[in-house]
Structure 1
Amino acid sequence: MSVLAPETVSLVDPGLYATGDPHPVWRWMRDNDPVRRYDATEYPAFWSLTRYDDIRTVFQDARVFSSARGILLRPHAHGKDPGGGRTLALTDPPRHKALRTLVADWFTTRSVRSLEDAMRGAVRRVVSRAATLGECDFVTDVAARLPLYVICRLMGVPDHEQEMLFSLTSKAFGAGEPETRSVAHQEIMAYFVELMYRRMDEPEDDLVSALVNGEVDGQLLSEEDILLNCDNLLVGGTENVRLAVSGGMKTFLDRPAEWERLRADRALMPTAVEEVLRWTSSATHIMRTVTEPVMLRDRPLEAGDRVVMWTPSANRDERHFENPDTFDITRRPNRHLALGAGTHFCLGAMMTRTEMRILFTELLDSEYRIEQTAPAVPLRSIVVNGLESLPVRISAR
């Protein structure tokens, strides 16, 4: 089968990810033009990276490849990212380390383990609720609920307010009309304004209190910085798990023998989780900005150049993964880049893996079977890779 060269395909066209297949294009680029220059369109000009080694090199060099000017391609019309240089994801050392230190205690091994029983209870309630619906959307009714419950708990959102926040995040980060998403996002920010002021008056043992009362370089964070970081933690704490679990479930539904293999041998769960992360690769792209002239392979990059890393391509690079287009729950080694690398390696990596392990384990242990009832709908996005919806029926076995 012939593969179209990138001249005929736009990697910044959301339609490619909703109705097409970018993997043949990325494969061609890995083989023929792994560091490729794209001229400005409605997006700024950028260098495109598709090989594992190059992407890992950029991830690990925060001095030359900066996050502070944004980590996603933005259309010219959208202007600069308001979080640039201010949030955990959009800062460089040493400020990044200082911000990370403020919140790191909630993502340690001890903290994650202390939440495991609560996570199991939450999953059981979520699955039982979904089963009563008959047909449901696995993405919103199952996969999205556990990570939101966990991050809400860490941020100090009271139990009785979590369903409201779930409804708002479903609208804000879903596939509805832009105006609806914008209004929902404004309501989320308004909620965190209120929660921020509550924690200023009465601090508690939670992430919002840590941001409100913590200091960076001897100074309290501004109110705007607190809100931007709350938003960053909410998105970062939910998106990876939602996309990985729903994409993983779709993969298992397409390959029922692998699901039954995992049911029969739970010792495979750790490698299965890693393979789901590699296979789904929820971040379609991550961007960095060059701070000084540097050579990448044989290409000269100048200060100010944008570098776009296609992480799903890195995780299918034949130079690092044997049979990369095969889903293999026994794959070892599996040093994927789905959770990043270097300074910005995902703060919640252990939490993400634990949530996935518990959710898949509870589904396998439950009295329910899961059947897909209609075609899955991929997201129309150049930012995140995954499903908008996965219609299923959850019923007693």
Structure 2
Amino acid sequence: MMPSVLDPARLTDPGFHADDSAHAVWRALREHDPMHWHEPTRYPGFWSLTRYEDIRAVSRDARVFSSAQGILLRPTAHGTDVGGGRTLALTDPPRHKALRNLVADWFTTRSVRALEESMREAVRNVLAHAIELEECDFVTEVAARLPLYVICGLMGVPDEEQELLFSLTKLAFAAGEPEIRGAAHLQIMQYFTELMYQRMDSPADDLVSALVTGQIDGELLTEEEVLLNCDNLLVGGTENVRLAVSSGLRVFLDHSDDWERLRTERELLPTAVEEVLRFTSTATHVMRTVTEPVLLRDQRLDAGDRVVLWIPSANRDERVFTDPDRFDITRTPNRHLALGAGQHFCLGGMLARAEMRIFFSELLDMVKTVEQTGPAVPVESIVVNGLEHLPVRLRAR
């Protein structure tokens, strides 16, 4: 029996994920109980997977391990996810592929390269503003801005209205009163409702138009499906990059030699970005639901069983990564699962990598020193991993 400090039941406590405590539990589970059963509590019962190969295998088998019934643990009292079967994240093949194809052209290598100069300009403006402030919250005032501007541009949000959405997403993602977050989220949905109707009347070359005019099996998406996917794209396109960039900076503050090395060895930026993704692992878990009886690690799973994949655990698995708890900007190969695997590999993965690479490159060019001016405040969540706040002072070169 594991000591109480390593009790797997603590993995469903958001506060437990606010520091590195969960890694000790995952390490113990990988070694002694890589497929652990959690009895029902406020959450339904589920199986925890903690080893890389198991998590990768389940992620790649969309037929047996379904996303359509929800990809996150939800308290039983909350019922099912309203996006089930209707959004990119919560559909299975073949509908998932058809839905993905409607918007995939905006995330190709060619499309991302075409965006690079505008992303550089956006980063420069964001950093110049932060330098003028002298002291700021890096998470909300710096890391959150670039991905929001990028995804809003792809969705067809006019430049002059992007600051409104920035203000609303700050409230929607922030810790605090659920009523305030809910009201902000409602205003975001109202905004995209209006934009959806505009694109119905006058389609343009953007993601919202693609959702409004695209067809699957000869049928248009319903209005609710369009809005749910707009929400999915906005959250997916902003939150992960915000968390990865801010957590990455914090890691570099703790590894200043690596940061200074990047100043002169810019060719290491791509591998450094991959290591930030692996080491910080912004997605804490994803869930799948079993569709038919299957054996996994000699354990029979029945249709309806829930399987939770702990992504940070997979990315620290000793069987795959040498010295996994060490941050190494030269690590190669680095086949982490931070962006998923299989059919649900992150649609915006290439864009996210480009945003992070450009961001850190411009930060190195424009900023001489980054001084942390207060304690970093971690997110308390079983869904995402990262920082709520990181107060810093940026000094120009």
TM-score band (shorter)? over 0.9
- 2:359 paired residue number: 359
Q: 2 CA distance for matches of 1:88 and 1:19?
A: 31
Tell me the number of residue pairs that the alignment of Structure 1 and Structure 2 aligns.
396
In structure 1, the residue matched to 2:7 is 7
Give 3-state SS (helix, strand or coil) of 1:388's partner: strand
Shift of 1:140: 0.8
The structure-2 alpha-carbon separation of the partners of 1:12 and 1:79, relative to structure 1 and needing over 3 Å to count, comes to: same
Shift of 1:300: 1.2
- Deviation (angstroms), 1:76: 1.1
Deviation at 1:47, TM superposition (A): 0.3
Q: State the Cα distance separating 1:5 from its structure 2 match.
A: 6.2
- The aligned residue for residue 225 of structure 1 is 225
Structure 1 residues 374-393: aligned runs within 5 Å: 374-393=374-393
1:167 aligns with 2:171: no
Tell me whether 1:185 sits opposite 2:185 in the alignment.
yes
Which residue number in structure 1 is paired with residue 313 of structure 2? 313
> Is residue 39–residue 45 contact of structure 1 (8 Å, CA) maintained in 2?
yes
The 10-residue stretch of structure 1 (15-24 or 270-279) with the greater mean CA deviation from structure 2 = 15-24
Q: Tell me which stretches of 4 or more aligned residues in structure 1 moved more than 6 Å.
A: none
5+ residue gaps, structure 1, are none
Distance 2:136 2:294 in 1: 50
Match of 2:62, SS state, is coil
Kindly report which structure 2 residues correspond to 1:39-78, keeping only aligned pairs within 5 A, or say none: 39-78=39-78
Write the deviation string for residues 281-313 of structure 1: whole angstroms up to 9, x where unpaired. 010000000001111112111100000000000
Q: TM-score, normalised by structure 2?
A: 0.98
1:378 offset after TM fit, Å? 0.6
Hey, what's the Cα distance between the residues in 1 that align with 2:262 and 2:140?
A: 24
Asked whether the 8 Å contact 1:3–1:24 carries over to 2, the reply is no
CA shift in 2, pair 1:53/1:241, >3 Å: same
Secondary structure of residue in 2 paired with 1:334: coil
1:282-361 residue pairs with structure 2 within 5 A?
282-361=282-361
1:4 CA displacement: 4.5
**Structure 2 CA distance, aligned partners of 1:353 and 1:223?**
31
Deviation at 1:112, TM superposition (A): 0.4
Q: Secondary structure at the match of 1:371?
A: strand
- Letter in structure 2 aligned against 1:86: R
Distance (whole Å) between structure 1 residues aligned to residue 305 and residue 53 of structure 2: 19
Deviations 1:201-247 (A, max 9, x none): 11100000000000011100000000000000001111111111100
The 5 Å alignment of 1:74-223 reads 74-223=74-223
The letter of the residue matching 2:288 is: R
SS in 1 for 2:11: coil
Provide the C-alpha distance between the structure 2 equivalents of 1:134 and 1:79, rounded to a whole number of angstroms: 46
Following the alignment from structure 1 to structure 2, what is the Cα–Cα distance between the partners of residues 287 and 243?
A: 20
Match of 1:278 in 2: 278
How far the C-alpha of 1:91 sits from its partner, in A, is 0.2
Q: 1:367 to 1:253 in 2, by over 3 A?
A: closer
CA contact (8 A) 1:3 1:28 kept: no
Q: Does 1:369 align with 2:369?
A: yes
**In 1, Cα distance between the equivalents of 2:359 and 2:44?**
40
Equivalent residue letter for 1:355: E
How big is the shift at 1:368?
3.8
What amino acid is aligned across from residue 56 of structure 1 in structure 2? Answer: R
1:167-218, CA deviations, whole angstroms, 9 ceiling, x for partnerless residues?
Answer: 0001001112111000000000000000000100111000000000000111
Is the CA contact 2:7–2:25 (under 8 Å) kept in the aligned structure 1? no
- SS of the aligned residue for 1:69 comes to coil
Give the distance between the partners of 1:279 and 1:263, measured in 2 at CA.
21
Sort the Cα spacing of 1:23 and 1:367 in 2 relative to 1 into closer, same or farther, 3 A.
closer
Tell me if the contact between 1:213 and 1:220 (Cα under 8 Å) persists in the aligned partners.
yes
* Offset, 1:367: 4.2
Q: Deviations over 1:41-82 (max 9, x none)?
A: 101110000000000000000000000000000011211100
Q: Does the Cα contact within 8 Å between 1:49 and 1:307 map onto a contact in 2? A: yes
Distance change (3 Å), C-alpha of 1:53 and 1:20: closer
Q: Which amino acid aligns with 1:365?
A: D
| Structure 2 unpaired stretches of 5+ | none
Residue number in structure 1 paired with 2:24: 24
Identity of aligned residues (%): 70
Q: Mark the CA change 1:61 to 1:169 in structure 2 (over 3 Å): closer, same or farther.
A: same
Q: CA deviation at 1:3?
A: 6.0
Superposed displacement of residue 6, structure 1: 4.4
Deviation at 1:373, TM superposition (A): 0.7
